[in-house]
Every structure is written in structure tokens, then in C-alpha cells.
Structure 1
Amino acid sequence: MRNFSEVTSFYLADYYGMEDLKPLYFCVFLIVYIAIVAENVTLIGVVYREKSLHEPMYMLLCNLAVNSLFGSTALLPAMLGNILSRSYEISLPFCQTQIYAIHTYAIIEFTILAAMSYDRYVAVCYPLHYHAIMSQRVAKLIVFTWLYPMLAFLIVLIFTLQLQFCEKTIEKVYCLNYLLVKLACTDTYIVSIVGLLSVPLYTLPQIIMIFYSYTHILRICVLSFSKSNLKALRTCTPHLLAITNYAIGCFFEIAQSRFNIGYLPYQTKLFLSLYFLIFPPILNPAIYGLSIQVIRVQLFKLFTRKSRQVADN
């Protein structure tokens, strides 16, 4: 009888598609990771340095940037190492750690976007009381957006940790929970039920919050087109773009993981599987940096100051 506990590592099969263009893939993903780190660290630095940005909306935006660093770091350094490797092998503990990091990143991202929708709801619907309401609640919201996803997914992961495995090939460039469960030799009925029941837990509160917030925002804007409401409504634009960008990534991930897309070229499948881990972190700082005037002004001051220092030296 085979000893299933001997399976302690897995092969990430999708790396074999990079064999002919390894240097190109390595350079592309290295540049992407550097861009993500540079953009998000710069955004956090600008908000931290400028006291006028020490407001609830920008505090939530900083947490979105921190989560972008968290999610991209869970993926890209390991990807760069695997591209240079010849075995494309990942140990079971590292695979489980990556699963936890990537899944919690996705849930935290959605939870922060939901909290930001509530922030915009208060700003548009209760502009005179915005600071009084949000200054009391923003710290609780931030703690909730991190603790809730981490504890919620931990429940599912605990069940996955009990499984034994008899297959070693993961058809992806990173680990995901459902892919690991598919390789199990032991009964996965309970794990599948827990995973299925957890989906509403991860998504339903956030969806309700987003729809509730924007339903009331639209109602207020239809009833009253005051200058203050219109100004606050403009600050919803980058948030809506961020939600759309995230939703596109989730749709791509579901499409490529749940449906048969073997007929698509390798590069297309790779793009679909990586979108939600790469494009929100790289586009969100650009969306907010270009859309919000206060951030644009502070970024301009920062870079002109650095240019002058370089010129003086």
C-alpha cells in the first residue's frame, strides 16, 4: 500500500510553457514587480508625508496599496525563482503558505473596496458629518478588512491541511486551494462543502455593502445636484474603476479555472490566470494618482523636488 505522506512537493506544470522564452518572461515579470513596488510604496509615502491626506479615504487607499504589495509578493518573487529553476517544483509547506497568502489577498482586496464604497457613501450622503462619522469608524474598518479575511479563509485551509496527496502536478504557475484539493487521495467531500459554503462568506457582505452604498449615492445625486455632492461623486470614479478592474480579474480567474479553455494559446491562459494578481496592484495606484487632484499635486511636488536635488548635486 502506497504511503501518501511521502508526497511533499508538487510540480507547477505551466512553467514548461516558458521554456523557449525564459529570459523574456523573467525580465517582464521582474519589471512588473519593480513597478508594483515602486508605485504602491510611492503612493503610501505621499499619503504619509502630506498631512492634508491624513483622511479616512486615503487611509483606506494606503491599505489597498499595502495589500497590493502583499499579494504581488506572494506571487512574483516565487515566479522569478521558478522561471530560473529547471524543476519547477514547490514544497508542500510553501504551496500551502502561497495558497493562504493569495486567497487572503483576494478577499482583503474585495473587503477594502467594500469599505471604500461605504466611505464614499458617507461622503456623498452625509457630507457635513463625514469627518465625525468616518474618524470614529475608519480604524475599526481597517482592522476588520484584514482580520476578517485572514480568519475566514483559515477555516478552509485547516481542512485542506488534513489531506494526503497522491498526485504531484499542479496545472498553474502558482498554488490555489481547489487545485491542491484535486490532488488529494483522501475523501474531499467535507473540504468541498466547506469551500462551497465559504464563498458567500467571502463575497456576500462586500457585495451588499457596495450595492447599498452606490444605490444611495445615485439616489442622492438624482435628487440633489449640489456642487458638494458632485465633487464627492467625482471621487467615486477611481473607486468604481478599481472595483471594475478587480471584477475583471475575478472573472478571468473563474473562466480559466472552471471552464475548458485548452484551445487558447499559452500566453492567453497565462494572462487570464495572472490578471487578478498583477493588474489591480499595478493599475490602482495609477488610477488614484491620475484621478485625484490632491495626489497628483503631491506626486508632482515630490518628483520636482527630487529633480532639483539631482540637478543641485
Structure 2
Amino acid sequence: MNNCSHVTMFFLSGLNEGMNLRVVLFSVTLLCYCFIVLVNVALIVTIILNKNLHEPMYILLCSLCMNGLYGATGFYPKFLLDLLSPVHVISYSGCLVQALVMYSFVCSDLSILAVMSYDRYVAICRPLVYHSVMSKKRLLLLVSVSWWTPFCIIGMNIFLTSRLKLCSAYIARIFCVNWVIVKLACFPAETIVNNIVAYITIIVYVFHGFFIVWSYLYVIKTCVNSLENRAKFMQTCVPHLTSLLIFLFTVIFDIMHIRYVSKDLPQATDNFIAIAFLVIPVILNPLIYGFKLTKIRGKILSSIAFKRKR
């Protein structure tokens, strides 16, 4: 990669202000990361160890939590090191890897939520064929596609970025973002292919969003005239919709902030908006599902009660 660019290190300038609160920021961030790991691992282990939870809905939830850990691990360890360091730098290859993790995490999250909406659509609207449609083989295929397709698509975007000759090594963020690296290109004409592939990627995942909306509209239409389906909707679909809305809110808020919000905002506000999608959904998803889904809540509470007896 270094042969393609004279830039070998990037300087992250998102932490230039507020470093007098370094110890406080480090402590809060470390607690946040530990809590993210704790709640997500607890849910993953609960689902894996209990055969009664080896159903499509819970396996997809397990995949969502694993993806949350993947995204958080791509950001928090490096950020914690930066809080302890007077100079915030990252290698060229390390920056591209971090950008790959950040973007593939977001796209995988949307893909998994799309599969979860399809699962709820089949369960509520076509219950007689649910077990044949959501077989173990098909579920494994859907989970694999929701992980590997985003990784490959974003990998293509990152590969195209790695071919650009850069004329600056300064990134005004606290982590590496692909579109920011592309903006550092010496020759804007060389970024045409990057922009085309980026727009195609956006269109692909916008269609994911449309599919999710269509699925839930159809589910809501089916549930209107059935008390049983309404109860099932409230029990299983409300957590999915809550996760989806939280995820979309944090991602869209970041995009709107980048494009339209004044750059005169305090840097601390900019940083919080930039990492909101790595904090809020990853913490709230396991809590929402843990409290709302009866089977998971029962298993967790029984485990806690068993430990207290011992």
C-alpha cells in the first residue's frame, strides 16, 4: 500500500481539545467498553448454551450482538490508547483496516436487521410454512450473507481508496472514515470510481431499508385483525423495530451532521455524534432484547438466581 501513497501515517485531530479531561474520558470510555462487552457476551453465551433458544429469531439476535462486539472492538481499544497518548496517530494500513471494520459493521447491522424483519414476516404472515422457510440451512445462508456481503462490498471500497495518492495525512475525526480519506486525494478526478462504487453501496443498503419497512408494514397489516398476532407482534417485533429505529437514528444523525450542521459546534459534541452509532445501539440492543424477550429474560434471571444460591 505504501507504494501507492507517500502517506505512511495519519494524524487524528478529533481529540485536540479537551485533553485536560483525559483521565475522566479514559475512565468513562473504558467503563463503556467493558459494559458493552459484558452485556453482549452475556446475551451471546445465554443463547449459545440454551438449546431452547436455538431458534432463528435468537440466532439472529446472537449474530447482531456479535456484530456489535466486532464494531466496538474496531474502535474502542485504539481510542483508549489515543486518550493515553499525547500524539494521536495511526498507520496507513491500520487506518484502512479501521475504516473497513467501521463501515462493514454498519452495513452488517442493517443486513442482519433486514433478515430479522424477514424472519418476523414469515413467522407472523406465513406461520404454516415458517419452519420450512426458515430452516437451519437457509438461516445459516442468510447469516453468512449478512456478514460476508457487507465485508466484501466495503472491502472493494477500501481497496479503491488504497490506490489513491494522498496529499494530506490529517483526518479531522477520532477514527478513520473512508470518505474522509478519499477527500485527501491529490487528484479529485481519480476518485470518480470511488464515488460511483460508494453510491452503489448506498443504494444497495437503502434498498435494505425499504425491504425492512415493507416487511413491517405487511406484518402490521396482518396483525390488525388478530389478537394472537398482535400479542406476537408486541412480544417479538417491537424489540426489532426499537433496535432498527435506534440504529437508523444514530447513523442518519451522523450523516446529516457531516453534511448540513454548522462546523462551529464544540469538538466534544462533534465527537459524540460521530461515535453515537458505536455506543447507543451496541449498549441498548442486548438490554432491549434481554428485558423484552421472555425466554431470554427467564434464562438470565434463572442463571442469576442459581449463582446466588451457590
State the TM-score, normalizing by the size of structure 2: 0.94
- Residue of 193, 212, 217 corresponding to 2:196: 193
Match of 2:211 in 1: 209
Instruction: Determine if contact 1:46/1:295 at 8 Å carries over to the other structure.
Output: yes
Q: Which amino acid aligns with 2:87?
A: S
Give CA deviations for 1:180-226 in whole Å, capped at 9, x if unaligned.
Answer: 1111113322222222232112331x12321221121122112x314
Query: CA 1:226–1:181 in 2, change beyond 3 Å: closer, same or farther?
Result: same
Aligned-residue RMSD, C-alpha: 1.5
d(CA) in 2 for partners of 1:274, 1:248: 13
Distance 1:302 1:173 in 2: 39
Shift of 1:4: 8.3
AA aligned to 2:144 is V
Q: Distance in 1 between matches of 2:89 and 2:249?
A: 30
Deviates most, 248-257 or 262-271? 262-271
Q: Check whether the contact 2:9–2:89 (CA below 8 A) recurs between aligned residues.
A: yes
Query: 2:23 matched to which residue of 1?
Result: 23
Q: TM-score, normalised by structure 1?
A: 0.93
Question: Matches of residues 7-86 of structure 1 in structure 2 within 5 Å?
Answer: 7-86=7-86
Letter in 2 for 1:213: S
SS of the equivalent of 2:15 reads helix
What is the percent sequence identity of the aligned residues? 36
Output one character per residue of 1:4-30: Cα deviation in whole Å (capped at 9) or x when no partner.
833211111011123110001101110
Query: Which range is displaced more, 238-247 or 130-139?
Result: 130-139
**2:289 partner amino acid:** Y
Q: Distance in 1 between matches of 2:215 and 2:233?
A: 12
Query: Paired residue for 1:219?
Result: 221
Cα distance in structure 1, aligned partners of 2:307 and 2:233: 33
- Tell me if the contact between 1:39 and 1:282 (Cα under 8 Å) persists in the aligned partners: yes
> Could you tell me which amino acid in structure 1 is paired with residue 283 of structure 2?
I
CA distance in 1, matches of 2:160, 2:205: 17
Is contact 1:290–1:296 with CA below 8 Å preserved after alignment? yes
Change in 2 beyond 3 A, CA 1:112/1:4: closer
Residue of structure 2 equivalent to 1:183: 184
